[in-house]
């Protein structure tokens, strides 16, 4: 069976409920991993997601900020809960769907100053990566595991609008890129969007609200990711690398999130 997984920083699920329903109707993902839902679990629009065809939910909410959720058309089984946020924020939620473990993360943005000593938010971000890397290094790369979410790092030269400028800005600094690469190497994760596009194609999934027309300014960053373990490589190869997609058209909808959803397809 085909399993389509989406990841989307919705930037307030209650504001984007109609967007979620529209996206679900157009792209028919089986699983939607949401970040920055910005509500507690009782406030989550569960009925609206159920009406859109997603009766199976995992919600980890937080008042005002953060918050993550997974909505699925298919039954959800429990998966390991990874407690890697030292501040206790609602930034991680997990599920197992059709035999595939899905770990959904909203990694801290890190503030403005890329200095661990001077900026506690930046230290928290790197600490999150380090804790997660240690946990992943203990796993078996043959496990069918997907990492989804807003990882808040644009790792490559062609994942930012201007590599030289952004190398000094939080989200693309060398220390963050190294932290992400160490996580990726811990289990041999495959970054499907980059693997499908090739090394030099410009990709982005986030554009600032400051630009009146994000396509004209085109100052995007690829902060949203879906990685798979080597154990799922064959499942992804069934689609010949063409399935990973960044749905930037959604960013152009009225009152959008500043992030576009991303999707992958697996043959499970």
Where in the chain are the domains? 2-267
**What is the pLDDT at residue 239?**
75
Radius of gyration of the chain from Cα atoms? 17
Q: In what order do the strands lie in the sheet with 92-97?
A: 92-97, 100-106, 145-150, 224-228, 190-191
| Residue predicted with more confidence, 64 or 208 | 208
**What is the pLDDT at residue 242?**
58
**Which two structure tokens, joined as six digits, stand for 236?**
């992804």
Q: In what order do the strands lie in the sheet with 56-60?
A: 56-60, 68-72, 31-35, 2-9, 262-267, 245-246
Beta bridge partners of 100: 97
C-alpha–C-alpha distance, residues 207 and 257, integer Å: 9
Going by C-beta distance under 8 Å and a sequence separation of 6 or more, which residues neighbour residue 41?
59, 60, 61
C-alpha–C-alpha distance, residues 115 and 125, integer Å: 11
**What is the pLDDT at residue 161?**
97
Q: How many CB atoms lie within 10 A of CB 218?
A: 12
69 SS3 class: strand
Residue among 85, 87, 127, 131 nearest 106 (CA): 85
**What is the pLDDT at residue 241?**
54
Residue among 43, 29, 50, 137 nearest 90 (CA): 43
Residue among 73, 87, 61, 88 nearest 6 (CA): 73
pLDDT band for position 226 (cuts 50, 70, 90): very high
Q: Is 136 left (phi over 0), alpha (psi -120 to 50) or beta?
A: alpha
Domain covering 2-267 in this structure, CATH number: 3.60.10.10
Is residue 10 predicted with pLDDT exceeding 80?
yes
Average pLDDT value for the chain: 96
Q: Is the pTM of this model over 0.85?
A: yes
**Which two structure tokens, joined as six digits, stand for 142?**
């043959």
Q: What is the mean pLDDT of residues 69-82?
A: 98
How far from 212 is each of 9, 208, 218, 219, CA to CA, in Å?
Answer: 20, 9, 11, 12
Q: What is the mean pLDDT of residues 151-163?
A: 98
Helix spans in 5-45 (H)? 17-27
C-alpha–C-alpha distance, residues 24 and 31, integer Å: 10
């Amino acid at each position: 069976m085909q399993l389509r997984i989406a990841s989307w920083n919705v930037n307030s699920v209650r504001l984007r409920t109609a967007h979620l329903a529209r996206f679900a109707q157009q792209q028919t993902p089986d699983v939607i991993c949401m970040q920055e839902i910005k509500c507690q679990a009782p406030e989550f629009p569960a009925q609206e997601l159920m009406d859109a065809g997603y009766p199976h939910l995992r919600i980890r909410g937080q008042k005002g900020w953060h918050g993550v959720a997974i909505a699925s058309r298919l039954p959800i089984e429990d998966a390991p809960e990874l407690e890697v946020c030292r501040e206790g924020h609602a930034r991680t939620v997990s599920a197992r769907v059709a035999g595939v473990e899905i770990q959904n993360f909203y990694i801290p943005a890190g503030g403005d100053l890329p200095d661990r000593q001077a900026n506690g938010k930046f230290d928290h971000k790197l600490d999150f990566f380090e804790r997660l890397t240690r946990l992943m290094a203990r796993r078996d790369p043959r496990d069918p595991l997907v990492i989804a979410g807003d990882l808040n790092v644009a790792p490559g030269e062609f994942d930012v609008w201007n590599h030289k400028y952004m190398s000094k800005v939080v989200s693309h600094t060398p220390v963050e890129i190294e932290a992400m690469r160490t996580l990726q190497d811990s289990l041999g994760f495959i970054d499907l969007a980059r693997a499908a596009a090739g090394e030099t194609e410009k990709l982005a999934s986030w554009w600032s609200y400051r630009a009146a027309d994000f396509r004209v300014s085109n100052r995007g960053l690829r902060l949203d990711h879906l990685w798979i373990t080597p154990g799922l490589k064959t499942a992804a190869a069934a689609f010949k690398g063409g399935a990973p997609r960044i749905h930037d058209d959604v960013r152009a909808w009225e009152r959008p999130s500043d992030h576009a959803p991303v999707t992958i397809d697996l043959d499970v």
